[in-house]
Structure formats: C-alpha cells, structure tokens
Structure 1
Amino acid sequence: MGNKKKMVFNVLFLVLIFAGTIYGVFHGEDIGQISDILQTVNPWWLIPGVVCVVVFIWGESIIIHYMMRNLGVNVGRGTCFLFSSVGFFFSCITPSASGGQPAQIYYMKKKKIPIPVSTQVLLIVTIMYKLVLVLLGLGIAIFGQSFIHTYIDDVQWVFYLGLVLNVVCVAGMVLFAFHPSLAKAFVVNGSRLLERMKFLRHKKSREEKLAASMEKYNQTADYMVGHFGMLVVVFIITVVQRFSLFAATWFVYKAFGLSGSSSWLIILMQGAIAVAVDMLPLPGGMGISEKLFMEMFLPIFGSTLLLPGMILSRGLGYYTELIISAIFTVVASFVIGRRSE
C-alpha cells in the first residue's frame, strides 16, 4: 500500500511540475510562430541526436554487463539494456532520480542477482556517473571563469550549488562503497533503529540475513578495490555515455542551419546545466533546466530560435529518453517477469 501511495504521489508531482513547466515556457509566446519555425528544421540532423540518447542508455547497460561479468554473474547484454532502461525511466519520473536504482535492484533480483552485488554495482555506476559531472564542474570553476561570466553569469549560483551538492554526494558514496565496515554499521544500526521505533519487529533471522548480505557486500567491495583497472574502464565508458547526451543539443543547433559555435562549446554548456540540476529534487530537472537553457543559450541560438531550440533540445535530452526507456521498461516487465516465473 505504501509503495502505491508513493507511486501516486510521484506521478502527481511529475504532472504538476510538467504543467508548471509548460505554462512557464509557453505563457505569452506565439505558438503559431514557434510551430512555423519548428517546421523549417532539417530532420536529418535530429536523427543522430536520437542516436545520442540511445547511446546514453546503452552506455550504462555496457557498464552493468561488464561489471557483472567481472563479478562472475552471467547476465545477457539485452537483459542489461533492460536494467538500464528501467533505471532511466524511474529516474526520469522521480524527484532527484531517487527511484531508478531501487527499480533496477528489484528487476535484478528477479534474475537471481544477489542484492549486495547489484547494490554494489549500481553504487559504482552512480559514483562514476556523478564523478564525471564533478570533474567537469570543477574544471569549469577552475579554468573556465571567462566561460562562466560569458554564458552563466546571472545564474552561476545554481551552477555552484549543484557542484557542491554533487561533490558531497560523490564523497559520501565513495566512503560507503569502499569502507565496508562503515556500510555494515550503517545497515545494522539502521535496522536496529527501525526496530526501536516499532517500524520493524525484532527477528533473529533478519539479523542473520543482514549479516550474510553484508559479507557478500564486503567481498564485492574488496574485489572493486583490488581491480582499479576495471574502475578506470567504467569511468571512460561513463564519460562517453554522458557526453553523448550533451552532444544532442549540438545536433539541434545544426538542425536549424546555424553555425559559428563549436560543438565543444555547446557540449560544455549542456554539461554545465547538468551539473547545476542533477542533484535538485525535480524529476528530470524539469523547470530549472528550461530556465537555464533560456539564460545560457541566448547568444548561441538568438532570440528568435531560442525557444524552439530549447524545445527540441529538451525533447531529445529528456522526453525522448523518457519515451525510449518507458518502452523498454514495459518490455522488461513482461520479459524478465515471465522468465523469473
């Protein structure tokens, strides 16, 4: 019952944020003019933009498959793509992307993957996912002051807030991932606290299961520490994965027949937006992402093409991702569910 209420709340929250975003974006705008401009777009430039989104989703599935294989867990590439799609779908519709990993763990459990192993793998995936943003944000903050003053001067506080939140998050996850005794203490003490608060009844069998799970977790953590090369490979794949999504905006730029701004500048600007919004409690960064795009990309798209450019950029970077991942989440619900039965 609690999960159903939470899902209803998340859906209502998503609809509310979406409605507010649509109103904020289109209020007072000439819808007819926007439609006319969008009809002039070269659709062939949008196809590689969609490919970028697919590569973004596919990249995580490659990482999951690679890490599972190294941990001795036999799982197919197609199944890993379904795991990745499930994660992105629930991340897109929940605040701060909080629903992605629990959903992935649920589906991995259906494939008989031990929860401590899936938790450790997904924790490493998340650390690398956010570490790319942290390094990008720190690079901009240290070496890109001219970039900041040129493109995000009026909204740089959002950028710095997002950077600080990401640094704190990554530091905490690294400590949790590679300090097994701390992880064990956190889980065991958390269980005991819930028992004292009467949310759980004391069961010796639960303590035994927790102890066994944490032993498996410790073995996985030790394996990760001893295989630094594997983490380097995961980091490189994550860089390609994240930058592929940022590149979708450049294809939107070319679709309007524009020139003069380099692909790296546009990718860097989209990366700065990701740094700013990644940790904010909004599904897919809705609302704030559109606001930052309108502030930052004015010199790039110009006043006439700015709103149409934002519509296509967000259409690729968020809504196309949402649709693709939703389709394969439905597939996962049937394929993985039936196989487990």
Structure 2
Amino acid sequence: MNLLKKKSLWLGALFLLLLGGATLYVVYRELRGQDILGTLKNANLWWVLAAVVSMALYAVADGINISRCLRLAGYKLTFAQMMKYSFAGFFFSSITPSSTGGQPGQLYFMAKDRLKVSHSAFTLLCALLSFQCAAVVLGVVGVIFSHGEVFNLQGKFSYVFPIGFALNIAIIIGLFCVLFTRRIAGFFAGAGLWFMKIRGIKPGDKFKFLRSFAAYRKAASLLRLNKSVFVKMLITSFIQIILFHSVTFFCSHAVGCSSLDWFTVLRTQSSLFISVSSLPLPGAAGVTEYGYALFYADLIPEALLGSAMLLSRFCSFVLPLVASGLGLAALSVKQEK
C-alpha cells in the first residue's frame, strides 16, 4: 500500500472518529436526564414510526433538491451520493450554531466526489433559498391562522419571532442578490480576489478563481433559463418542511394527545420554526424546547406536554442526527474502498 493511500485511510479514520464523537456529545447533551426509553415504552409505536418515516422522506426530499440543480450543470448523481449530501447537510447543521456548518460540510463531500466548487456552491445556495422561502411563507401562514398569538407571548420569547422572521427575510434577500444579481455577485468576486491578494496569490490562482466565477455565473444563467427547475425545488421544499412539522403531530398522538389536529400543529410549528431556526445555537438547543412549551401550553395537556416534547425532539433531531452520522460514516467507508 503506497504512502498516499495510507494517509487517506488514516485521515478517513480520524474523520469518522470525530464524526462519532460529535454525534455522541450532542445526543448526550440532548437526552441528559431525559427518560426517552420510558417515553418510547409508553408511546404508540405506529405513530412513532410515522414520525420516523416523515424524517426519512424529509432527507430524501433534500437530496432530490440538490440533485436537480447539479443535473442542470451536467452531473448525474447516484442515489447514494444524493443521500450523502443530504446527510452531511443535516448532520453539520445540527452540531453548529445557526446551522452554519451544513453547506461547508456538503461542499467538502462534493469536492471529494470531484464536483466543481462553483457548481456545488450555486446548487447549495439555490436549495437553501427554496427552503428559506418555503419556511417563511409557512411561518407567515401560521401567524395569520393563529391570529397573531405569537406576538402575545410573555417574557423574552415575545421578541424571538420578530427577530427570527427578520433574519430569515434578510437571508432570502441576500441569497437572491448573490445568485441572480450580477453586480452583487461581482462584488463578492472582487472581495475574493482581494482576499487572495492579501494572502499572497500564486501564479495561475487568479485565472482559476475567475474561471470558477464564470462557471458559477453560467450555472445561474442555466437556472434562469430553466425556471421550472426552481419551481419544482420550491414545491419540494414545501413538502419537506410540512413533513418535518408533521413529526410533532405524530409524536403528540403517540403519547395520547388525540384531540390535536394536524393543521393546528402545522401552523404552530411553522411559527416556532421561523422563530428559532436562525438563532446562534447548535440545533437551536434549549430555546426550541422552551418555545415548544410556550407554543403548545394551551394545545397539549400539561401531563402530556413533557413527553410529547421529548419524543418530538428525539424523532426530529436526535434520531436523524445519529442516522445521518452513521450514513455519512458508511458512505465514506464505501467510497474509500
């Protein structure tokens, strides 16, 4: 075995150890002192299974959106690649503040598969834009149908929705500008060249950078000429978020709250999601649970609220985190062989 191959295997093993360590740490932090086994034992497992299937379909929908843009650029992804990028997005988003690690993690795996950085970056920004648009629209619908109840919350949480809404709108505007405005994109290209000059640009690096930027702009032109692709991505994002929000409905019924209807959960979860999704906390830890208790205080009986919240967090965050980590590990080992 040559030295390069040995080095690759050692780096792969180290990466898998870090992946496993991060997963175990987040799981321990989330479930510390929580009796998830007791909750599962007393829950209706058919409803729990429905929640698990919803999250599995959520991951598949994410992979489908990623593959759509890459297909425009001429790439043909296998199902394993599609899911690998989806797993990477969920895993690294879950363990980093404000979900900022998702796209860099996906870019890393795309680069290992020899996808051009310009095409990968454009694809992930488009996927993020469609997701943000769907999340904001559903959040607004949730607030309208809840008759503005979110603005009547007491204490510090009364400011969370306006802040979260403003941050999400800012992200959407920023993404539209970067993706489809030549002047803004040119500004970032100039900033990139300036940064490279400060670091000490090597011969040929400027040409490579400008070539990548040209490929990025070409990808943007392809999407403008194929607007139906983004419409399909947007529809998929709506389905994806609805699946995610439905987990709470399934988990509430699993612990015995049969009076809670699906649309009430959808509008409530949409408002909660847009409130906490952009906060600078890994997986929006802590504030999600606190917000859940506030938003559902009048919807779920107090005796069932704790169990419903724990089971929902387990099915929508902890279990998918473990599954995405294991999926990344398995696909990485398979790729190294």
Q: Same fold (TM over 0.5)?
A: yes
1:306-332 per-position Cα deviation (integer Å, ceiling 9, x unaligned): 111111010011111101111111123
Does the CA contact (< 8 Å) of 2:143 and 2:267 recur in 1?
no
CA distance in structure 2 between the aligned counterparts of 1:69 and 1:84, rounded to whole angstroms? 16
Match of 2:310 in 1: 311
The answer as to 2:231 corresponding to 1:232 is yes
The answer as to 2:124 corresponding to 1:98 is no
Does the CA contact (< 8 Å) of 2:80 and 2:331 recur in 1?
no
- After superposing the two structures, state which structure 1 stretch, 259-268 or 141-150, moved more: 141-150
Does the CA contact (< 8 Å) of 1:166 and 1:279 recur in 2?
yes
Match of 2:253 in 1: 254
Does the CA contact (< 8 Å) of 1:110 and 1:336 recur in 2?
no
What pairs with 1:53-72 in structure 2 (closer than 5 Å)?
Answer: 53-72=55-74
Deviation at residue 156 of structure 1 after TM alignment: 3.4
CA distance in structure 2 between the aligned counterparts of 1:143 and 1:250, rounded to whole angstroms? 17
SS of equivalent residue, structure 1 residue 290: helix
1:203-238 per-position Cα deviation (integer Å, ceiling 9, x unaligned): 231111111001101100111111111111000011
SS of equivalent residue, structure 1 residue 261: coil
Match of 1:185 in 2: 187
1:96-148 per-position Cα deviation (integer Å, ceiling 9, x unaligned): 11111112112112222111111111000001111111112233445543543
Match of 1:214 in 2: 213
CA distance in structure 2 between the aligned counterparts of 1:264 and 1:315, rounded to whole angstroms? 22
Match of 2:329 in 1: 330
User: Unaligned regions of 5+ residues in structure 2, if any?
Assistant: 1-13
User: Unaligned regions of 5+ residues in structure 1, if any?
Assistant: none
CA distance in structure 1 between the aligned counterparts of 2:194 and 2:78, rounded to whole angstroms? 38
CA distance in structure 2 between the aligned counterparts of 1:179 and 1:68, rounded to whole angstroms? 20
Change (3 A) 1:146 1:207: closer
RMSD between aligned alpha carbons? 2.7
Deviation at residue 190 of structure 1 after TM alignment: 3.0
TM-score normalised according to structure 2 size: 0.86
- After superposing the two structures, state which structure 1 stretch, 257-266 or 219-228, moved more: 257-266
The answer as to 2:201 corresponding to 1:202 is yes
SS of equivalent residue, structure 1 residue 105: helix
Equivalent in 33, 50, 53 of residue 51 of structure 1: 53
TM-score normalised according to structure 1 size: 0.85
Match of 2:282 in 1: 283
SS of equivalent residue, structure 1 residue 112: coil
Amino acid at match of 1:116: S
The answer as to 2:269 corresponding to 1:270 is yes
Does the CA contact (< 8 Å) of 1:18 and 1:286 recur in 2?
no
Does the CA contact (< 8 Å) of 1:134 and 1:275 recur in 2?
yes
- After superposing the two structures, state which structure 1 stretch, 280-289 or 130-139, moved more: 130-139
Runs ≥4 in structure 1, deviation > 6 angstroms? none
Match of 2:120 in 1: 118
Deviation at residue 188 of structure 1 after TM alignment: 2.9
